[in-house]
Amino acid sequence: MSDVADFPYFALSDDLRELQAAVRELCDDKIAPHAAEADEKSEFPRASYEALKAGDFHAPHIPEAYDGVGADALATCLVIEEVARACASTSLIPAVNKLGTLPLMLGANEEQKKKYLTPVATGEAMFSYGLSEREAGSDTASMRTRAVRHGDDWVLNGQKSWITNAGESRYYTVLAVTDPDGRRGRNIGAFVVEADDEGFGVGAKERKLGIKGSPTRELHFDNVRLPGDRLVGKPDEGLQLALRTLDHTRVTIGAQAVGIAQGALDYAVGYVKERKQFGKHLAEFQGLQFMLADMAMAVESARQMVYAAAAKSERNDPDLGFFGAAAKCHASDVAMRVTVDAVQLLGGAGYVSDHPVERMMRDAKITQIYEGTNQVQRLVMARALLR
């Protein structure tokens, strides 16, 4: 993959354009046809997952040293954007594989990386991320899940909430308090939990507004004994690792939001060019043309912000925190606005499931909430400005 530092973020290289075209072709052929069924049945889109694996798009961020394709941050965002254009639920496969594995890429030792990154790269396993709890959503430092040292091992107790792809993933990065009396935020460790660990289980699938093809469950830990080599980094640096991870992965949520918005815009444009009222195609009415122009302008501004943030993620720029938050916040707000307008442009037809825009509208909402609500993103941005 090309280095994003080699060209302006607003001009994709030939390699990236070829990647974009390849992912779009695969999505149109093998992912989009399953999107409505995954939503309707609230079922994991297994055929779409197999299609992603066949194209090496299921975890493109993993380096070649661990049998991955070594896609850079921008290339990974392009994959997620194109998949989200077809099916938001499926786009959470590459997005959450990155979210779950990035703490290891940032803080694990070489043995841990080889053990856990390789099966994700080859498609043998997926990786989820366990940070939030019922009473610790935006306030992550107040988590109650505990990891107590027993000799060389750790014993984990507690629960995690709203975990994407839980039950489908084999591995989980889980954050837990290692020192209840330690300084807040500096008393948390990051651990790898495996699906078959004794005492570990998942709850029932949440009944959700959108992204229904991606299962969301609680994680439960009942005296789960973890060998010492499951600790990623040091026992007191887990939260810092988690926050560094989010600086990077918020960019991928921005890419997902752009993809959802683009999918809705594309469908709405096609619809108004075909649909007639008052003897004219809807596309001939100036008021609707203005709506389309505003939608396209918003999508493109969000895309450019995401690509700029992806370039900063690849370089690990010091202002990534601001740009990651801004990209996620702006793109998700755009996705919500554009999908609502797409439903409006279709009128009554937009409100029924015969057309995909109502699904896209429901899917878009979560992008304003997960990986930090947009209110939290604005706090992150403001603090960066005021430092």
Confidence check: pLDDT of 18 > 50: yes
Torsion, Cα of 171, 175, 180, 181 (10° steps): 130
φ/ψ (deg, to 5) at 231: -75, 130
Q: Where are the alpha helices (DSSP H) in the chain?
A: 14-26, 32-41, 46-55, 73-86, 88-107, 110-121, 238-274, 286-315, 320-346, 357-367, 374-386
Alpha carbon distance 159, 145 (integer Å): 6
Residue corresponding to tokens 């992550």: 140
In the numeric block, which tokens belong to residue 61?
């961020």
Question: pLDDT class for 342, splitting at 50, 70, 90?
Answer: very high
pTM of the full structure = 0.96
Question: pLDDT class for 2, splitting at 50, 70, 90?
Answer: very low
Q: What is the per-residue pLDDT for 1?
A: 35
Confidence check: pLDDT of 8 > 60: no
184, 160 in Cβ contact below 8 A? no
φ/ψ (deg, to 5) at 220: -125, 135
76, 102 in Cβ contact below 8 A? no
Question: pLDDT class for 292, splitting at 50, 70, 90?
Answer: very high
Q: What is the per-residue pLDDT for 11?
A: 77
Residue-wise pLDDT tens digits, 171-208: 999 999 999 999 999 999 999 999 999 999 999 999 99
Establish whether 64 is a catalytic residue: no
| CA nearest neighbour of 267 among 212, 339, 351, 366 | 339
Q: What average pLDDT is seen over the chain?
A: 96
Alpha carbon distance 300, 9 (integer Å): 13
Residue-wise pLDDT tens digits, 95-133: 999 999 999 999 999 999 999 999 999 999 999 999 999
Residue 276 pairs in a beta bridge with 281
Task: Work out the burial of residue 342: count CB atoms within 10 Å of its CB; fewer than 13 is exposed, 13-18 middle, 19 or more buried.
Answer: buried
Alpha carbon distance 192, 105 (integer Å): 13
Alpha carbon distance 304, 296 (integer Å): 12
338, 21 in Cβ contact below 8 A? no
Helix (H, G, I), strand (E, B) or coil at 308: helix
- First vs last Cα of the chain: how many Å apart? 35
What domains, with CATH codes, occur in the chain?
4-121 (1.10.540.10), 127-236 (2.40.110.10), 240-386 (1.20.140.10)
- Report the sign of the C-alpha dihedral through residues 301, 274, 89, 140, in that order: positive
Confidence check: pLDDT of 33 > 90: yes
Q: Of the ranges 16-25, 135-144, 348-357, which one carries the lowest mean pLDDT score?
A: 135-144
Residue 188 pairs in a beta bridge with 177
| CA nearest neighbour of 121 among 194, 63, 54, 77 | 63
Q: What is the per-residue pLDDT for 137?
A: 87
Q: What is the per-residue pLDDT for 10?
A: 63
Residue-wise pLDDT tens digits, 231-289: 999 999 999 999 999 999 999 999 999 999 999 999 999 999 999 999 999 999 999 99
Residue corresponding to tokens 């390699």: 15
Instruction: Exactly one of 81, 218, 314, 371 is catalytic; name it.
Output: 371
Residue 127 pairs in a beta bridge with 171
